[in-house]
Amino acid sequence: MADLCLAVVRRVALPSTGGKRQAARALTRLEPLASPLLGYVDELVIALAASSSDRRVRATIDGLGRRLEMHLSDGRRGERLRDGVRVVVVGRPNAGKSSLVNWLCRRPLAIVSPIAGTTRDSLDTHINLSGHPIIVTDTAGLRQSVDPIEQEGVRRTREGAKTADVLVVLVDAAQLVGSNAQDEVMRVLQESGAFEKDVADARILAVVNKIDTNPIPDQDSITAPSGERIPLVAVSCKTEDGLTAFISTLTRLASSICSVNQYSASPTFSRVRQRKLVEEALNELRDFEPLLGVDVSVAAQKLRNATHAIGMIVGSVCTEELLDAIFRDFCIGK
């Protein structure tokens, strides 16, 4: 076992010079993430050095893997805190999407006109909603068209819908058959591609606009085919009726997105790159166990790869000090 520890620690703890430089640069930018993950690396090396049995090594690596998984399941909170919660407004042409987005950002971001098909491209703007950073996207109205430019606009709307944290489905009160918002919202959702697997996580907010032209009966939610309740608000961008309720509901959804599990009490991954590196580290840890009984040096390489991936995020991994500490505290090699 001492041999195993020595082999593993040597391989884990001796990075290339280039890797060290890169890691050192990364550290300065990633302070909030550094301590917990650096703790893992220390723990990993120390556990290996101190372990007296294979089983304990396996348990330690398994525990580390589970904790990395917990961080990965943080609901992308760090990315949302950095970039903003993505709110995408979809609906048919002329429903009032641009009017709603302009009202949200308090400026005439998008052209508003009675001509259906005015917005032809997706437009992003950043706003602050009770302290939550939000990216609001206005989109081209969903409809069949032979115009290739409009087709491209609709394709972009669907792509945007896939990235939404909150999908606002806006329908025109005047277009409702018998004031039935449920069916029209479901049709628009279907056309936006929202029932496809990769957008299944987005929160949906249904909005009936233009209630000044056709008041609808009081209703605060509708039911999705899955049985889930979708909040519904009735508004008029013209008279501003209902917009306060719209803002409260949107704020509630944004808050719920920004608060998830215990690991998101502090921001975790603020960049996709960091998440990818942790996923890489996790894969290496998962490969370690089956290899341990077969070839210690190949297994050790897996740990070194995992350490390197985390080191790319937190920086000062595998420093001379860490090596010194291991040799001082555990007398390995003496």
Ligand X SMILES: Nc1nc2c(ncn2[C@@H]2O[C@H](COP(=O)(O)OP(=O)(O)OP(=O)(O)O)[C@@H](O)[C@H]2O)c(=O)[nH]1
Question: Which residues in this chain contact ligand X in the complex, by CB under 6 A?
Answer: 91, 93-99, 112-114, 116-119, 141, 209-210, 212-213, 236-238
| Contact of residue 163 among ligand X, Mg ion, none (CB under 5-8 Å per partner type) | none
Q: What is the DSSP letter of 122?
A: -
The minimum distance between CB 86 and Mg ion, in angstroms, equals 18
Q: How many residues does the chain have?
A: 334
139 vs 268, which CB is nearer to ligand X?
Answer: 139
The minimum distance between CB 122 and ligand X, in angstroms, equals 11
Q: Positive or negative CA dihedral for 25, 70, 231, 225?
A: positive
Q: For 43-81, b where at least 16 C-beta lie within 10 A, e where not — what string?
A: ebbbbbbebeeeeebeebbeebbebbeebeebbbbbbbb
The minimum distance between CB 172 and ligand X, in angstroms, equals 8
| Contact of residue 95 among Mg ion, ligand X, none (CB under 5-8 Å per partner type) | ligand X
Q: Which of 11, 76, 88, 119 binds Mg ion (CB under 5 A)?
A: 119
Binding mask 187-216 for Mg ion (x = CB under 5 A): ------------------------------
82 vs 107, which CB is nearer to Mg ion?
Answer: 107
| Contact of residue 210 among Mg ion, ligand X, none (CB under 5-8 Å per partner type) | ligand X
The minimum distance between CB 167 and Mg ion, in angstroms, equals 16
The minimum distance between CB 216 and ligand X, in angstroms, equals 12
98 vs 301, which CB is nearer to ligand X?
Answer: 98
Distance CA 326, CA 43 (A): 11
The minimum distance between CB 111 and ligand X, in angstroms, equals 7
332 in Cβ contact with 5 (< 8 Å): yes
CB proximity list for 78: less than 8 A, separation 6 or greater: 33, 264, 267, 268, 269, 270, 271, 274
120 vs 271, which CB is nearer to ligand X?
Answer: 120
Three-class secondary structure of residue 73 per DSSP: coil
115 vs 294, which CB is nearer to ligand X?
Answer: 115
The minimum distance between CB 138 and Mg ion, in angstroms, equals 6
The minimum distance between CB 307 and Mg ion, in angstroms, equals 51
257 in Cβ contact with 80 (< 8 Å): yes
| Contact of residue 18 among ligand X, Mg ion, none (CB under 5-8 Å per partner type) | none
Distance CA 210, CA 186 (A): 18
Distance CA 286, CA 116 (A): 54
Q: Which of residues 85-104 bind Mg ion (CB under 5 A)?
A: 98
118 vs 175, which CB is nearer to Mg ion?
Answer: 118
Three-class secondary structure of residue 124 per DSSP: strand
Q: What is the DSSP letter of 263?
A: G
Helix, strand and coil in the chain, % to nearest 5: 55, 15, 30
122 vs 319, which CB is nearer to ligand X?
Answer: 122
98 vs 305, which CB is nearer to ligand X?
Answer: 98
Element (H, E) at 187: helix 181-192
Q: Which residues bind Mg ion (CB under 5 A)?
A: 98, 118-119
